[in-house]
Amino acid sequence: MKVGILQFAPRLGRVDDNREAIAAMLRRRKFDLAILPELATTGYNFADRRQAWEAAEDRKGRSFDFFGELAAAAGGVIVWGMAEKAGRRLYNSAVLTTPNGDHHVYRKTHLFFREKLIFDPGDTGFRVFTWRKVKIGVMICFDWMFPEAARTLALAGCRVLAHPANLVMPYCQAAMVTRSLENRIFCVTANRVGTETNRHGALRFTGRSQLIDPSGVRLLGFTRTEKAFKTVKIDPRLADTKMVNRLNDLFKDRRTDYYRI
Q: From CA 149, how far away is CA 137, in angstroms rounded?
A: 10
Indicate if 141 belongs to the active site.
yes
**Region class of 243: left (phi > 0), else alpha (psi between -120 and 50), else beta:** beta
| Catalytic option among 84, 85, 108, 115 | 108
Indicate if 135 belongs to the active site.
no
Q: Tell me which residue of 186, 175, 194 sits closest to 43, measured CA to CA.
A: 194
Q: What angle do CA 131, 22, 58 make, to 5 degrees?
A: 70
Q: From CA 17, how far away is CA 218, in angstroms rounded?
A: 31
Q: From CA 146, how far away is CA 134, in angstroms rounded?
A: 24
Q: From CA 89, how far away is CA 78, in angstroms rounded?
A: 24
| Catalytic option among 84, 85, 135, 141 | 141
The residue ranges of DSSP E strands in 111-244, in sequence order, are 128-131, 134-138, 160-164, 186-190, 195-198, 201-204, 210-212, 218-221, 228-233
Q: How many residues does the chain have?
A: 261
SS3 call for 3 = strand
Indicate if 38 belongs to the active site.
yes
Residues with catalytic function = 38, 108, 141
